[in-house]
Amino acid sequence: MQKEHVVLGTGPLGLAVMEELLKQGKSVRVINKSGKALVPNGVECMKCDVKDLDQLRNSLHNATIIYHCLGLPYQDWQTQFPKMMANIIQVASENGAKIVYGDNLYGYGPQQGPLHEKMPYKPIGKKTKARAEVATTLMEAAKEGKVQATIGRGSDFFGPRAKNAMLGERVFTHLLDEKPVELIGNPDTVHSHIYIKDFARGLIILGDQNSANGEIWHIPHAKPTSTRHLVEQVAHKLNKQPKYRLANKFIVTMGGLFNSDMKEFKELMYQQVNDFTVDSSKFNNKYEFRVTPYEEAIDETIAWYLKEHENKDESIVS
């Protein structure tokens, strides 16, 4: 029987996973809270509030592999992520389905050196704590034999649709519009970024491989470099001279008095003012994987933003 792949969430990562599954000729449907998403013909998009157990049971019927790519506003992580994960585990257990959780690196908190899978969690606030807790819940359920599950982690992703990323519209769109690039922290520290299509391919490998079950894996990233260096690459390809507007810790603290997103980000400033790199050797030693070179990834991302930019200009004219 053909496996039924279900993607929870239609944000940038969820849609990247959907596209890669379709590229590989796999059956896929997507689930989000509205039941609406820009998906190709033939892909079912189901409406579901994952916090509602009965709705989730209905939406995950016949699922064999579940890709958990759900996102939430920062302020909702602590209250909603645990409930969502508990429900996903419950329904996956009932169905005999495997969970592949697309996670970030927040749960580790500040660490010395490249982040690797054996590091203990050191949360320093409610967001890092929430990420550590839901990952622990999933791995404990797998250890107890309640569910098949694996976690694939990536650092800051960039690429098509990832407008809110560090290397998102505040870089690509601002350069196209001749506006200053907006960055948080120190753009000259060494920082791991992952191309969103690589993140998606890595998660699907973990979904396909039984050897990934019950473990955490860092999806391979390109060699870390400074954020400024990547911005300069983008600007060079666009034939632009970048100007910068940088938000240091003081600005983020003060901005948090008036902006809820900025207030929530204060906890994560350690990632932007210190070197923040990822060790993906565990994954590389187990599975074959080609990391997309920065130049190729940037070219594809520019092409997506140029198309978006053209569509925006056309809508203004009309």
> How many angstroms separate the first and last alpha carbons of the chain?
49
Predicted local distance difference test score (pLDDT) of residue 238: 97
Task: List, in sequence order, every residue forming a beta bridge with 309; answer none if it has no partner.
Answer: none
Are residues 89 and 147 in contact, defined by beta-carbon separation less than 8 angstroms? yes
Q: Which domains does the chain have, with CATH numbers?
A: 4-158+192-218 (3.40.50.720), 172-191+224-276+292-311 (3.90.25)
Are residues 84 and 46 in contact, defined by beta-carbon separation less than 8 angstroms? no
pTM of the model: 0.94
Mean pLDDT taken over the chain: 92
- Determine which of 150-159, 253-262, 267-276 has the lowest per-residue pLDDT on average: 253-262
Assess whether pLDDT exceeds 70 at residue 262: no
Assess whether pLDDT exceeds 70 at residue 151: yes
Mean pLDDT across the stretch 211-237?
A: 97
Under DSSP, the state recorded for 232 is: H
Predicted local distance difference test score (pLDDT) of residue 250: 47
Q: Which residue has the tokens 């039984």?
A: 210
Task: List, in sequence order, every residue forming a beta bridge with 158; answer none if it has no partner.
Answer: 195
Mean pLDDT across the stretch 71-97?
A: 94
Q: Express the helix, strand and coil content of the chain in percent, nearest 5 each.
A: 45, 15, 35
Predicted local distance difference test score (pLDDT) of residue 269: 87
Assess whether pLDDT exceeds 90 at residue 48: yes
Assess whether pLDDT exceeds 90 at residue 314: no
Mean pLDDT across the stretch 5-20?
A: 97
Q: What is the pLDDT of residues 231-245, one digit of tens each?
A: 999 999 999 999 999
Residue 168 or 269, more confident: 168
DSSP string, 200-224: HHHHHHHHH-GGGTT-EEEPP-PPP
The helix-helix angle for 294-317 and 227-237 (nearest 10°) equals 60
User: pLDDT-derived band of residue 79, with 50, 70 and 90 as boundaries?
Assistant: very high
Mean pLDDT across the stretch 257-267?
A: 63
